[in-house]
Amino acid sequence: MKKVITGNQAVAYGVILSRVDVISAYPITPQTTIVEELSELTASGRMKTVFLKVESEHSAMAALIGASTGGVRCFTATSSHGLAYMHEMLHWASGARLPIVLVNVNRAIGPPWNIWSDQSDSLSQRDTGWVQLYCEHNQEVLDTVLQAYRIAESVKLPVMVVLDAYVLSHTSEAVEIPTMEEVDAFLPPYCPEYPIDTQEPMAFSTIATPDHFLEFRYKLQKAMEQVPEIAKKVDDEFKSRFGRRYGAIERYGKEETEILLITSGTVTGTSRTVIDKLIGKGVSVAGIKIKRFRPFPIEEIYKEIKGAKKIAVIDRNLSAGVGGIFAQELRASLYSREQRPQIFGFISGLGGRDITPELIEEAVQYTVDHPRPEEEILWLGLKR
Amino acid sequence: MPMISISFGHMDWNKTGAWRAQRPFYEDKTPPCSAACPVGNDIVAFIQRMTEGDFEGAWNLIKEENPFPGICGRVCFHPCESKCNRGAYDEPIAIHALERFVSDFASNSNKKIKKVPGVRKGKIAVIGSGPAGMSCGYHLARLDYDVTVFESSSLPGGMLREGIPSYRLPKDVLDREISNIAELGVEFRTGMPFGENLKLEDLKNYQAVFIATGAHQSRGLHIPGEGGKSVLSGLDLLKKINVCKKVKLGDKIAVIGGGNTAIDLARSVIRLGKKPTILYRRSKEEMPAFEDEMVEAIEEGVKIRYLVNPIRIQQKDSMKRLECLRMELGEKDESGRRRPVPIPNSSFFFEAESVIIAAGEEIEVSFLPKGLEKKEGIVLTQRDGSTGIKGIFAGGDLTSTQRTVAHAIGSGKKAALAMDCYLKGKDSEDALRQILIGEGPSISIFRHLHPEERRMNPHVVTFEELNTDYFEPLERRRESKGVVKKRIKGFGEVTSGFTDGSALEEAERCFSCGTCNGCENCYVFCPDASIMKTEEVFSRQVDYDFCKGCGICFSECPRGAISLKEEAR
């Protein structure tokens, strides 16, 4: 059945269809309507879920860590300062290998105070051991929530599903909503690695001395390394059941172009029209959408380089002192490779400013015109 | 090596309870409602039963303390509600309405009190079948005594029957609660006025006597013209209306007084098609009548003129002419109310066809046994109801200036216990002290009969001791009242009781102050999993092997049912 729904409603549908057992969340703009929808569904009895009201995001994640250890499927959603407040518990969830799914609605972090979209919040958490999946449209949002549980529960890692504030969260699109039966067939009930039995107590997350700590982190990294293969299997199965596939990355446009334009989130949608226009003008450019940021899909990206000389990356985020985070990750992971195209790192759209087709075209044109970037950070639309 | 740092062994060996400096423990405390109830009802406990849907259990609990839930649920001035901690949060629990609901439920499902089998320990006479006498008889029967209640009128009930109009207390409710007492084995002998058909000497076969003959004499105004035609004594008239509903009265009526009798009279005569005006010498704030009654009276068209004092009643043609003075309030008097003082040269006339004097009631002393000590209009007793004469106890309006149904019931109950002690040769004061609710003065017969059950700390839970984070504001449920137009056409009951639904909703508003209701907040919050719960049964026990004494259970208990004390080392 198709419904016209917002991105936040798409999240809620994904959660309902995933038969989540425990939800714990604290409201924050622009995530609030997700939690509202879910709390109402729970309160009305339409959804058999325990909804835990908590006093902070830190507690929301702490509560889910307990519930997930107890062996049930868990969900939370947050944004911006809320995600930052969860930081300590994010590490705990991955260290304890708990397959919690979190939806983060991208919002800038203040000050200056700002409630609009940019990726600084989720990308600040890139080192917490969470898988991160970015969405371009509302259908992808719903589908990614379903896939997230499959991936999380297979590799025993928490997964963060990320969508842009307002452009997705509060904007309606037609979304195909699978039936409960279809999702049940795709997503089996969660089986914990160590089921809790009150008669046979165990101690979780006990101390690991220097003799062992390194090995636990090695296992965490190995789990991350399994993600590309497992995520691909999940995506393939999803395609066969629902007819839709997303990949870790998606190429848009021709093969073997001079220039690649790398984007993530909703900017991708805009860039598709710009690429069509530029191809019409004879520019040799193709788009690469990065969906999975963690683990970083360097293998998948590398396969798409195919002789491209330049890569333009549009980052809707800033790691002050370095630049755009996607660009930085790309530079770092290409360093040891044979093909190392010039990386043009553009920063744009921070704090929710629109990244217009004109700005994207400007970025590509700059890349065409210059053999290498004149500056480490190329600001798009900056008012000097 | 496992995926995570996990120990398949357990930590039970690590008895962290040894770190504890303070010890939490479950200890029920006295709720303010019960402490304020002159009858001594275990209000929190019966409301808790209601929330479990166990209305019969609620009825059984009320009956432990009070034979008259149907009556109290309707006519009590519910001091419990004034003290209800919920009142400081949003609105107090409608306790009276819940009590009435439980009684009506029991009546509708034909619940009866069963006679206690067993050897009777002795014979006791009760003189007067008002709330004090019947309460005394009821509790004595439950304590295994043979009780005979003597009543001067032809039907038992005393003031309940004669002094309270049926639009407030329907006669069938009264009859059903009296019949419950009779079912217990209490014998009623009516038409036996004390001092006339019945003398103290006739009661030699009884080992003890309880006198509760009430206060039935209207107090006079002591003004000229008071004895004239068409000037009526309030209580006498009220009795007539209540018993036969037929009286001869003029149309325009002056009712003098500001107590409940005055209000009852005004509302009764309105139902007979008359036009009453109440004349009261102080202002609204000083009026001793219950607020709710006044509100209903005014709704029904009763006029009240404040700060007016009649000084003379004259006849003018067919009318009575009251010469009145306007008053103003002066200094406080011994009752704590501001004394009315006449305004010079303020006299005016108020005309009415009939004048009813309802300026209070006094006890009759002529038939009382000699040797009873009296002071300021009441018979003096100890707090257990014993008089200076061995074997003679007294209670109700006869012995108190707090003349309410609830106080009368309470005094009868206390006397029952005292008479039991007297006949067993025990110290009644000591027995009373054991079962005081809070600091008293009310007592719990249930705790006397079951000393091991429902033990509680006498400390009365204050609002500040509750953790109101766990409550949400909820509107008090209200009983519905008939429309005024229909109400004043007859003596049918004004107020309709709760439905099952609203009774449950109202019961669920109760904070359950000081009484654990198994909400399991402590279980949920205990960071050491030291609140014991086995097989889904919440045990109200702390596992002291592991409790570190953090006190979270104590501070998160919404109702103050957990105490904390320093650990003895």
Residue B304, CA distances (Å) to A72, B137, B253, B277, B351 in order: 68, 40, 12, 6, 15
Q: Tens digit of pLDDT for each residue in B381-437?
A: 998 899 989 999 999 999 998 899 999 999 999 999 999 999 999 999 999 999 999
Give A259-313 pLDDT, tens digit per residue. Answer: 999 999 999 999 999 999 999 999 999 999 999 999 999 999 999 999 999 999 9
Shared domain check, B172 and B79: no
The class (CATH top level) of A2-242 is alpha beta
Q: Report the range of poorest mean pLDDT among A85-94, A270-279, B327-336, B476-485.
A: B327-336
Closest Cβ–Cβ partner in A193, A202, A203 for B3: A193
**Structure pTM?**
0.74
Residues 6+ positions from A329 with CB-CB distance below 8 Å: A293, A296
A216 in contact with B, Cβ within 8 Å: yes
In this structure, are residues B463 and B278 in contact, taking their beta carbons and an 8 Å threshold? no
Kindly list the distances between the CA atom of residue B358 and the CA atoms of B217, B238, B321, in Å, as whole numbers in the listed order: 10, 10, 17
What distances in angstroms separate CA A174 from CA A6, A15, A183, one per listed residue? 9, 18, 19
Which phi and psi (to 5°) does residue B407 adopt?
A: -65, -40
- In the predicted model, what is the mean pLDDT of residues A137-163? 98
Mutation for testing the B interface, residue in A206, A212, A218, A222 having most B CBs under 10 Å: A206
pLDDT at A93: 98
pLDDT at B533: 83
Residues B374 and B302 in one domain: no
CB-based contacts of A123: which residues, under 8 Å, 6+ apart?
A293, A317, A319, A325
Stretch B345-357: mean pLDDT: 93
Amino acid at B251: D
Name beta bridge partners: A290.
Answer: A249
With contacts defined as CB-CB under 8 Å, which chain A residues touch B1? 212, 215, 219
| Percent of residues, chain A, with pLDDT higher than 70 | 100
Task: Give the domain-ending residue among B303, B338, B362.
Answer: B362
Does one domain contain both B376 and B354?
no
Q: How far apart are CA A96 and CA A76, in angstroms?
A: 17
Domain count, chain B: 4
B207 and B222 fall within a common domain: no
Residue-level pLDDT at B108: 85
Are B255 and B278 part of one and the same domain? yes
Residue B534 has pLDDT above 80, yes or no: no
- Whether A2-242 and A250-379 share one fold: the answer is yes
Q: Do B316 and B182 share a structural domain?
A: no
- Is ipTM beyond 0.95? no
Q: Tokens 């005014």 belong to which residue?
A: B298
Question: How far apart are the C-alpha atoms of A10 and A6, rounded to whole Å?
Answer: 6
Kindly state whether residue B142 falls inside one of the protein's structural domains: yes
What's the confidence (pLDDT) of residue B372?
Answer: 86
Which domain CATH number covers B148?
Answer: 3.50.50.60
Q: What is the mean pLDDT of residues B86-97?
A: 97
CA dist B224 → A222, A339, B145, B159, B276 (Å): 108, 123, 51, 29, 22
Which whole-number Å values give the CA distances from B90 to A87, B48, B476, in the listed order?
39, 20, 8
Would the pLDDT of B158 be above 80?
yes
Mean pLDDT for chain A overall: 97
Residues B382 and B495 in one domain: no
- Taking alpha carbons only, the member of B473, B403, B551, B527 closest to residue B88 is B473
Q: Do B313 and B227 reside in the same domain of the chain?
A: yes
Helices (H), chain A: 7-17, 32-43, 57-69, 80-85, 87-95, 120-123, 138-155, 180-186, 213-242, 267-280, 298-305, 325-334, 357-369
Query: For the residues A84-96, what does the mean pLDDT come to?
Result: 98
The answer on pLDDT for A177 being more than 80 is yes
Write down the residue that tokens 């309606």 correspond to. Answer: A172
- For residue range B270-316, list pLDDT tens digits in order: 999 999 999 999 999 989 899 889 999 999 999 999 999 999 999 88
Q: What is the pLDDT of residues A44-67, one digit of tens each?
A: 988 899 999 999 999 999 999 999
Domain boundary among B362, B388, B412: B362
Cis amide bond preceding A30, omega within 30? yes
Q: Which residue has the tokens 């639904």?
A: B501
What are the angstrom distances between the C-alpha of B515 and each of B28, B46, B363, B443, B560? 5, 11, 41, 18, 8
Contacts A204 to B, Cβ<8 Å: 4-6
B250/B321 same-domain check: yes
**Same domain? B393 vs B418:** yes
pLDDT(A232) > 80: yes
Indicate the pLDDT class of residue B107, thresholds 50, 70 and 90: confident
pLDDT bin (cut points 50, 70, 90) of residue B196 is confident
pLDDT (0 to 100) of residue B226: 87
C-alpha–C-alpha distance, residues B43 and B50, integer Å: 11
Tens-place pLDDT, residues B474-500:
999 999 999 999 999 999 999 999 999
Given the structure tokens 């032809």, which residue do they identify? B154
Residue A383 has pLDDT above 90, yes or no: yes
**A212 CB within 8 Å of a chain B CB:** yes
Give, in order, the Cα–Cα distances in Å from A177 to each of A173, A232, A278, A336, B146.
Answer: 12, 22, 35, 43, 78
Q: B330 and B267, same structural domain?
A: yes
Residue B391 lies in a domain: yes
Residues B211 and B394: their CA atoms lie apart, in Å, by: 5
Topology (CATH) of A250-379: Rossmann fold (3.40.50)
**Can you give the residue ranges of every domain in chain A?**
2-242, 250-379
- Measure the CA–CA gap between B323 and B351, rounded to whole angstroms: 9
Nearest residue of B to residue A218, measured between CA atoms? B3
Residues B416 and B552 in one domain: no
pLDDT band at residue B536 using 50, 70 and 90 as cut-offs: low
Give the one of B1, B3, B6 whose C-beta lies nearest to A203's C-beta. B6
We report the CATH number of the domain holding residue B522 as: 3.30.70.20
Q: Give the three-state DSSP class for A333.
A: helix
Q: Which of A312, A319, A47 is nearest to A180 (CA)?
A: A47
**pLDDT score recorded for residue A230:** 98
Report the CATH number at residue B53.
1.10.1060.10
In terms of DSSP bridges, do strands A249-252 and A285-290 run parallel, antiparallel, or are they unpaired?
A: antiparallel
Minimal C-alpha gap between B282 and chain A (Å): 54
**Residue-range definition of the domain harbouring residue B551:** 16-27+516-566
Question: Whole-angstrom Cα distance, residue A201 to residue B333?
Answer: 72
